[in-house]
Chain A
Amino acid sequence: MTLAHEMAFASPHITAYAVEATEHPDLARKYRVTGVPKTIVDNTIEILGALPEDAFIEQALFSQAE
């Protein structure tokens, strides 16, 4: 989780929520969380598992054509 939080701290445009899945089953269902960690970016992009820092940043922020 710390990586997403670091990203929020570094960028004034990023907000990062660590969601405890068992306490928020409605959110876990909504985003079809079957394993953790799972990251959802802007309700659309899904990232499964833990990735290296550079790969995570690329997938989370730059994988969609602007």
Chain B
Amino acid sequence: MSLLGSADQTRLRTEFEQLTRPVHLLFFTQSLGCETCAQTRQVLNELPALSSRVIIDEVNFVLEPDRARRYGIDRVPAIAVAYAQIDHVSAADGSADSGDLVDTRIRFLGTPAGYEFVSLVQAVLLAGGGESQLSEASRQRLASVQRPVTLHVFTTPT
């Protein structure tokens, strides 16, 4: 059963029509000792049904530690947002090749439910070629940042 009502599904399907390239949601999970991995999977599974350009790449946190490290993931459930530059949807064979992904450095730790689901949709739209909502002044300010910076933004599910 879907978590989203049919009106939300229709609205998201329309929004995802803007996607111009495949968005890969790398879902870091493990089968044991992760209370909320199943609910995160349930939320994520809503999305590929709404657009062929949203792809869930499940990564076993225990078996693929190198991949987790590469994306700076040290806990589960976690999501890293990436995109592919080659569009499999318009490719002749329709194959989804996730070999060459561009990392957006957008991460979610924990289940993106409630308001965070909105953030996840925004992240998908951005990664899929959507326009940044930042002002021109902000973008110029950000361009001057030359050192690595890590932001943790704490939220709650409501």
Contacts and interface: CB of A to CB of B under 8 A. Distances in A.
Interface of A: 1-2, 4-24, 27-28, 31, 33, 36-43, 53-54, 57-58, 60-62
Residue with the greatest number of chain B CB neighbours at <10 A, chosen from A24, A39, A43: A24
Given A10-B139, A23-B36, A36-B156, A5 B123 contact: yes
A27 B152 contact: yes
Contact of B145 (A6, A13, A24): A13
Contacts of A41: 149-151
A22 B126 CA distance: 27
Nearest to B81: A5
A27 B111 CA distance: 15
A6 B116 contact: no
Contact of A57 (B115, B138, B152): B138
Query: Which of A8, A33, A37 neighbours the largest number of chain B CB atoms within 10 Å of its CB?
Result: A8
A43 B133 CA distance: 26
B134 A10 contact: yes
A64 B140 CA distance: 19
A39 B152 contact: yes
Contacts of A17: 107-109, 150-153
Given A14-B145, A42-B149, A9 B104 contact: yes
A36 B64 CA distance: 32
Contacts of A38: 153-154
A28 B123 CA distance: 23
Contacts of B36: 23
Given A41-B151, A57-B138, A2 B122 contact: yes
A16 B154 contact: no
A39 B154 contact: yes
Interface string B125-137: 0110000111101
